[in-house]
Amino acid sequence: MVNITAINGEPVTGSKFGQDLTSFRQSKGHGHKAETKTNHSSETEHAAVESGAFSMETALNTPGFSEFLAGFPDAEVLDMDEADEKLVKERFEAFKEIPKASKKLGEILQAKILKDTSVKLKPEQLKGLEQGLMERVQNEGVEALKIINQDLEDYEKLPLAIKAKQEELSAMEPEDSLESKLIDSKESLGSAEERKTTLEAENNAFNAIVRGEKALGQFSAEFKIVEAEMQKAGLESVKTAQENAEQYGRYLEVVEKRAEVFAEAGMNTDELQNYLQAAKNKVEAVAKLDTGKKFSLEAAAGIMKNFDEAIDAAGGMSEDLLGEYRRGISEQLSKVDYADPESGEEVTKLNQKLDDVRKLSLRGFSGVARVSGPRSVWNSLEDAYRLKAEISTVLRNPADIGRIKDLNDLANRDDIGFGSLQDLYKNVSKVGNRIETEYRNNSVQKGARLYRQSKEFSGKNVLARAWKSFRNEGPVSAWKSFRKESPDQRHKVAMEKAEAVFSESLGKVAGLERKLEKLQNASEEKAAMELKLKSLTRYLFNEAEETRQVIAEVRKEFRQNLKVLTEPDASLEKALKAWQSLDSAFEESDGSGVEYFDAGEDYGGGREYDQLEKDAKELVMIVATREMVKGFKEFKKGSTTIEKLKLQMMSIERALGDTATSPRYLEVKNEVLEGLIDVYKKGSPGEKALAIVLKAYKAKL
Amino acid sequence: MQIQDLKQALEDGDIEKAKSVLQVFLSSDVSEKEAGKILLDLTMLHVQSENTFNKIELAFLDEAIEELKALKKVAANAGEALEQAELKSRIQNS
C-alpha cells in the first residue's frame, strides 16, 4: 500500500503518483493555472523558495516538478506531509538548478568538446542533456547536482587563478638569484684594485701613444723633405738599393730597438726627438753618398712603413705578451739578409706579423683594453670559471639532479633545465680553452676575437640567462608537457611528479643553505688561520729581537775587553786574561752570540768575529813584546839578573804558545837572544857553550 | 554500435576517441534520453579532467613561487655573508 498522502489529506495511489498529482492540482483549483503553463515558471519558483517559507503546494503545482519527483526511486514511499517536506524542498531546489547547469554543460560541450568539429547541437539534443541530468539527480540524489555545480564553478575559476599565479611568477626577477648575488659580490670586491692598475696602465699607454704620434708626425714631415731630395736625385737602381738595404737593415734594427725602449720607458719625448734627429741625420748622410751608392725610394718607403708600425705597435701594446712577440719579430727582421734577392718575401711576412701586433694596440685590441696584460686576462677568466664551477656544484646537489632529470625525462627533451645550464658552462669552458690555446700559439688576433666571444658567455649575463632558462623551462613547462600525455595516465603521473618536485625543491633550498654554511665556515677558518699566523709572526719577531739584544751586549763586552789591551800599562797577564774573556763572553750569552757569528758567516758575522779575534791577538802580541823589551832593558842596566830574564822569556813564550808569531815580537825576541849570546860569550866556559847553543837556536828562528 | 563505442570510450576515459565517436553519434538517429545521458557523461568527464589538471598546475605554480622566494632569501643571505667575509678580509689585509 502506498503511503503518499496529498496535501488535502486524502491518500493517493503510489503507482499512479504523477497522475494523482495532476488530479490533485486540478481538484484544488490550480488546474487551470497549471494547464496554462507548459514550462518551468520562474515566477512560481521564486515564489516557492524566496518567500522564506517553503510551500509544498506551490512546489507541487510547478509544472514538471511532480513528474521529476515521481522519478526518484523512493517516490512510492515518499510522504507528502511535513515529515518529508525537507526532502521535497531539496529536490525542488535541485529541480530549479538543473536548467542552469544543463545550459552551462551544453555550452561547454559545444565550445570545447565539439570545438573542432562541424557538429552543431540541436535543441532536442540539449533537451536530452537536461533530461539526462534530471535522471542522474533522480538516481543519485541532489548531492550529485551539487557536485556537478561545484565542478562547473571550478571549471570557470581555476584558469583565472592560474593566470594570476603565472603573472606573479613572471614578475619575480632573476637578478636576485644566488648566482647573480655571488657574481656581483665577487666582481665588485675582486676587481677594484685591478681596475686601478688597469686604468693607470691604460693612461700611461695612451700618453705614450700621444707622444709617439706627435714625434712620428715631425719625423714623417722631415723625412718627406729627405725623400723629395732623394727623388730629385733620381737614384733608383736595384743594385744600389740592395747595397743600401744592408745599411738600412741595421738602421731599421736600431729604430725598432729604440722604439721598444721608448715604449717600455713610457716614450720619453725628448729622448725620442734626439733619436729621431739622429735618424734624420743618418738619412741625410746616406742621401749625400756617392751617386752610385744611394738607396732606392722603395727601400726607404719600406723602412718608413716598418718604423711607423713599430712605433704604433710599441705605443699601444700590452707590455708582457705583445712586447715579447714584437721583440721576436724584430729579432727575425734583424737577421734578414737584405743582400738576398728573395729576402723581400720574408720581410713581407714579418711585416704582416708586425701588422698583427699593431692591430692589438689599445685601439685595435678592444677586447682586452681594460686589462694590463695577458696574465690579468687569465686571472680574471680563471676566477670567473672557478666561480661558475662553485655555482654549478650548488646546482648539482643530489636533490637537483633527481628533480631535473625527472623533468627532462617527462618533457623528453635534452635542452631543458640542467642540460641547457650544463651546456652553457661547457660552452664557456670550451671558448676559454680555445683562447688559451690561441694565446699559447701566439695567434693573438684569434685569441682577441675569442676573448670577446667569451665575454658574451661569461659572467653575470650567462648565469642570469641560464637561470632564466632554467626557471622558464622548469616545473611549469614540464607540467605542461604532461598534458600532452594520455589522459588515463597523466593524472596519476602528474600527482606523483608534483609531489616529487615539491619535496625536491625543498632539498634544493637545503642544498643551497649547506653551501652557504660551508662558505661561512671557510671564511671563519681563513680568519682563524690568519690570526694564528699573525700570532706566530709576532712570537718569531720577539725571539729575533731578544737575540739581537744579546748579540749587542756581547759585542759591547768584547769591545770593552779589547780596550783594556790598549792601555799603556797593560800587563801581559792582564792582556791574556782579556783575550781569553772574549770567548767566555760568547759562552755566557748561552751561545747566542757565537751562533750569531757562526750562522751569520755568510752575512758578515763570521768575518766580524775573525776580525775581532785578530785585533785582540795583535794587541796581546804588542803587550808581550813590550814586556820582553822592558825585561831586557832592565837586564842590560843590571837591575835584573840573566836568570830572571830567562824566566821572564820562558813565561812569555809559554803564555803565547804557538801564537807568538808577531813579526815585531820575533824581532824583539831575536834582539834579546843576541844580547844574551853576547853576555854568555864573555863568561865562563859553560856560559860560552850556552852562547853557542843559543846561537844555533836563534838561527832556527 | 556507436552508442556502445561511445560508452566504451567514456569508460576508458579516452576523451579523444569519445569525441570522434560523438560526431557520428550526434548525426545518427538516437533517442534524446539515451543521447542526453551520454552527452552528460562526456561533458562531465571533460570538466572534471580539466579541473584536476588545473588544480595540479595551480599547485605547481604555488610551489614554484614559494621556491623562488626561498631561493631569493638564500641568495640574499649568501651575498650578504660573502660581502661581510670580503670586507673582513680587506680590513685584516689593510
Digit-coded pLDDT (tens) for A129-182: 999 999 999 999 999 999 999 999 999 999 999 899 888 877 775 544 545 554
* ipTM for this prediction: 0.81
| Beta carbons of A351 and A357 less than 8 angstroms apart | no
Is the pLDDT at B89 greater than 60, yes or no? Answer: yes
| Beta carbons of A186 and B82 less than 8 angstroms apart | yes
- Whether A124 and A204 map to the same domain: the answer is no
List of chain B residues whose C-beta atoms are within 8 Å of the C-beta of residue A383: none
Taking the Cβ of residue B56 and every Cβ of chain A, the question of whether any pair is shorter than 8 Å is answered with yes
Query: A336: which residues sit within 8 A by CB, 6+ positions away?
Result: A249, A343, A346, A347, A350
Bridge partner residues of A11 (DSSP): A5
> Mean pLDDT across chain A, nearest whole number?
58
Bridge partner residues of A5 (DSSP): A11
Is the pLDDT at A552 greater than 50, yes or no? Answer: yes
> Smallest Cβ distance to B67: which of A179, A182, A505?
A505
Q: Does the residue A151 lie in any domain?
A: yes
Q: Does the residue A406 lie in any domain?
A: yes
Is the pLDDT at A3 greater than 50, yes or no? Answer: no
Q: Does the residue A373 lie in any domain?
A: no
Distance to chain A for B5, nearest Cα, Å: 17
Question: Which stretches within A343-486 are classed as H helix?
Answer: 343-359, 374-395, 398-411, 418-440, 444-457, 459-472, 475-482
Overall domain count for chain A:
3
Smallest CA–CA distance from A505 into chain B, residue: B67
Q: Does the residue A23 lie in any domain?
A: yes
- Whether A143 and A264 map to the same domain: the answer is no
- Give the pLDDT of residue A98: 95
Smallest CA–CA distance from A479 into chain B, residue: B57
List all residues of chain B from 65 to 84 with a beta carbon under 8 Å from chain A: 65-72, 74-79, 81-83
- Give the pLDDT of residue A151: 94
Overall domain count for chain B:
1
List of chain B residues whose C-beta atoms are within 8 Å of the C-beta of residue A112: 46
Per residue in A612-659, pLDDT tens? 666 667 777 777 777 777 777 777 777 777 777 777 777 777 766 666
Per-residue pLDDT band at A68 (split at 50, 70, 90):
very high
Instruction: Flag if B35 and A128 touch (Cβ within 8 Å).
Output: yes
Taking the Cβ of residue A589 and every Cβ of chain B, the question of whether any pair is shorter than 8 Å is answered with no
- Give the pLDDT of residue A498: 46
Taking the Cβ of residue B24 and every Cβ of chain A, the question of whether any pair is shorter than 8 Å is answered with no
Smallest CA–CA distance from B30 into chain A, residue: A125
Q: Looking at A157, A184, A206, which one is the last position of a domain?
A: A157
Per-residue pLDDT band at A478 (split at 50, 70, 90):
very low
Per-residue pLDDT band at A101 (split at 50, 70, 90):
very high
- Give the pLDDT of residue A539: 52
- Whether A363 and A389 map to the same domain: the answer is no
Smallest CA–CA distance from A116 into chain B, residue: B19
- Whether A286 and A349 map to the same domain: the answer is yes
> Smallest Cβ distance to B63: which of A132, A471, A501?
A501
- Whether A364 and A388 map to the same domain: the answer is no
Taking the Cβ of residue B43 and every Cβ of chain A, the question of whether any pair is shorter than 8 Å is answered with yes
Distance to chain B for A97, nearest Cα, Å: 15
As given in the structure block, the three cell numbers for residue B38 are: 551520454
Taking the Cβ of residue A653 and every Cβ of chain B, the question of whether any pair is shorter than 8 Å is answered with no
Per-residue pLDDT band at A695 (split at 50, 70, 90):
confident
Distance to chain B for A354, nearest Cα, Å: 43
Instruction: Flag if B33 and A519 touch (Cβ within 8 Å).
Output: no
Q: Does the residue A68 lie in any domain?
A: yes
Q: Does the residue A537 lie in any domain?
A: no
User: In the Cβ-directed half-sphere of A11, how many Cα atoms lie within 13 Å?
Assistant: 8
- Whether A234 and A329 map to the same domain: the answer is yes
Instruction: Flag if A132 and B39 touch (Cβ within 8 Å).
Output: yes
Per residue in A440-471, pLDDT tens? 454 444 444 544 444 443 333 433 443 444 34
List of chain A residues whose C-beta atoms are within 8 Å of the C-beta of residue B75: 176-182, 512
- Give the pLDDT of residue B28: 72
Q: What is the mean pLDDT of residues A519-546?
A: 53
HEC readout, A439-465: HHCCCHHHHHHHHHHHHHHCHHHHHHH
- Whether A207 and A112 map to the same domain: the answer is no
- Give the pLDDT of residue A282: 52
Give the separation between CA A536 and CA A530, rounded to whole angstroms.
10
Look at A621 and A433; give whichever has higher pLDDT. A621
- Give the pLDDT of residue A152: 95
Phi-psi region of A25 (alpha: psi -120 to 50; beta: other; left: phi over 0): alpha
Query: A592: which residues sit within 8 A by CB, 6+ positions away?
Result: A547, A550, A551, A554
| Beta carbons of A61 and A25 less than 8 angstroms apart | yes
- Give the pLDDT of residue A567: 67
Diameter of chain A measured on Cα atoms? 196
HEC readout, A222-250: HHHHHHHHHHHHCCCCHHHHHHHHHHHHH
- Whether A262 and A300 map to the same domain: the answer is yes
Q: Looking at A99, A130, A157, which one is the last position of a domain?
A: A157
Range of the domain at B87: 2-93
List of chain A residues whose C-beta atoms are within 8 Å of the C-beta of residue B71: 177-178, 508-509, 512
Give the separation between CA A194 and CA A371, rounded to whole angstroms.
8
HEC readout, B19-66: HHHHHHHHHCCCCHHHHHHHHHHHHHHHHHHHHHHHHHHHHHHHHHHH
List of chain B residues whose C-beta atoms are within 8 Å of the C-beta of residue A162: 54, 57-58, 61
Look at B41 and A567; give whichever has higher pLDDT. B41
Residue percentage of chain A with pLDDT more than 70: 27
Give the separation between CA A93 and CA A294, rounded to whole angstroms.
121
Range of the domain at A110: 14-157
- Whether A105 and A60 map to the same domain: the answer is yes
Give A519-522's long-range contacts (Cβ < 8 A, gap of 24+): A519/B78, A519/B81, A519/B82, A519/B85, A520/B81, A520/B85
Per residue in A588-621, pLDDT tens? 544 444 444 444 443 344 455 666 666 667 777 7
List all residues of chain A from 439 to 478 with a beta carbon under 8 Å from chain B: 471, 474-476
> Smallest Cβ distance to B37: which of A132, A155, A509?
A132
Instruction: Flag if A494 and B50 touch (Cβ within 8 Å).
Output: no
Q: Does the residue A312 lie in any domain?
A: yes
Is the pLDDT at A551 greater than 90, yes or no? Answer: no
Give the separation between CA A289 and CA A306, rounded to whole angstroms.
23
Q: What is the mean pLDDT of residues A182-197?
A: 51
Give the separation between CA A340 and CA A337, rounded to whole angstroms.
6
Q: Does the residue A615 lie in any domain?
A: no
A–B interface: beta-carbon pairs under 8 A = 209
Q: What is the mean pLDDT of residues B85-94?
A: 64
